[in-house]
Amino acid sequence: MNLNALSLFVAVIQHGSLSKTAEKLGVPIATISRQIAELEKHLQIQLFDRQKSGVKPTMAGQKLYDEVHLSIDNLLNAKQVLFDDEQNLKGILRISAPPKCEPVLAWVSEFQQKFPNVQIHATMTERIFDLSADSIDVAFRIGELHGEHFIAKKVATLGTKWVAHPELLTRFGTPSTLKELKNFPIATWAKNGESEVVIQMNKEKIALPFLFASNDASAVEYMVLQGQAIGQISDLTANEWIKDKRVVEILPELAKPNYELFMLYASQRYPSAIVRVFVEFVLGKIQAT
């Protein structure tokens, strides 16, 4: 049985009409009428006599009300208690995310506006954590990850652009093909020990030696902004710098790969209230977009 329809049924009897119920609950009359009709169809009984002055429960409707209204009221009260508990959420949430990961920072900012008593400590790094050993409640990482001890949820797709400082292009010229990047100094993300990076645009791949590499995206961005090298940086940063004419986009006609951002949290059966509410908040934000 639809509990939402049942609670609307109880509310209609308590308020005496569909219009008053709609006004009190902020639910359209058409929605209330449809839910009541579906409840009647499910139960195969008529619950209301429709009158000009409003609605009056039938004998069957009155009997159903007598049986369920206290339980429905208790459920609504319990829901309000849980809501109040969430509003009073208090404690510390420890998260980790890649440096300058603006989507995560935007979620954190909005979350703290809603729950001002929650303190958040953010470790901004791309290093892979052991969530338990490093005391991290929720981590955000680029690339799909799997493990027995954590849950991974995709929360965003991040785009990139290849850009260069105008002065660098004055010195070296502007590349017109992917292969011509071999003639330019490259700044890129790479792991320690790697000596080249594999670049893919459209269906073409090329391995390039680099001038500068780091496991920190902000270090790559610094070298690009200093005119030291061409680099691949996030759309969020690139769009801002291009607009300000600090950099120029390179090879804009070629499709660049996107990178998926995942939210990771421990797979324990009963997470803390703060972790649960934060995870639900982020998932709600991405479902709304």
Q: Estimate the crossing angle of helix 29-43 against helix 3-15, to 10 degrees.
A: 110
Q: What is the reported pLDDT for 1?
A: 65
| CATH code of the domain covering residue 182 | 3.40.190.290
245 and 167 both lie in a single domain: yes
149 and 275 both lie in a single domain: yes
101 and 232 both lie in a single domain: no
275 and 218 both lie in a single domain: no
75 and 138 both lie in a single domain: no
Residue 184 forms part of a structural domain: yes
69 and 105 both lie in a single domain: no
Domain count for the chain: 3
Range of the domain at 71: 3-87
In the listed set 87, 114, 131, which residue is the last one of a domain according to the structure? 87
120 and 206 both lie in a single domain: no
For the residues of 45-83, what is the DSSP string, one character each?
Answer: S--EEEETTEEEE-HHHHHHHHHHHHHHHHHHHHHHHHH
55 and 68 both lie in a single domain: yes
Residue 262 forms part of a structural domain: no
| CATH code of the domain covering residue 95 | 3.40.190.10
Residue 70 forms part of a structural domain: yes
pLDDT tens, the chain, 289 aa long: 677 888 888 888 888 888 888 888 888 989 999 999 999 999 999 998 887 777 888 999 899 888 887 777 666 655 554 554 556 788 889 999 987 788 899 999 999 999 998 999 998 887 766 776 678 899 998 876 655 678 889 998 888 899 999 999 999 999 998 889 899 999 988 777 778 888 877 777 888 889 998 877 888 999 999 999 999 888 888 999 999 999 999 999 888 878 889 999 887 655 678 888 899 999 998 887 6
Residue 104 forms part of a structural domain: yes
How do the residues of the chain divide into helix, strand and coil, expressed in percent and rounded to 5? 45, 25, 30
Question: Alpha carbon of 16 to those of 8, 21, 46, 55, 69: distances in Å?
Answer: 12, 8, 16, 6, 14
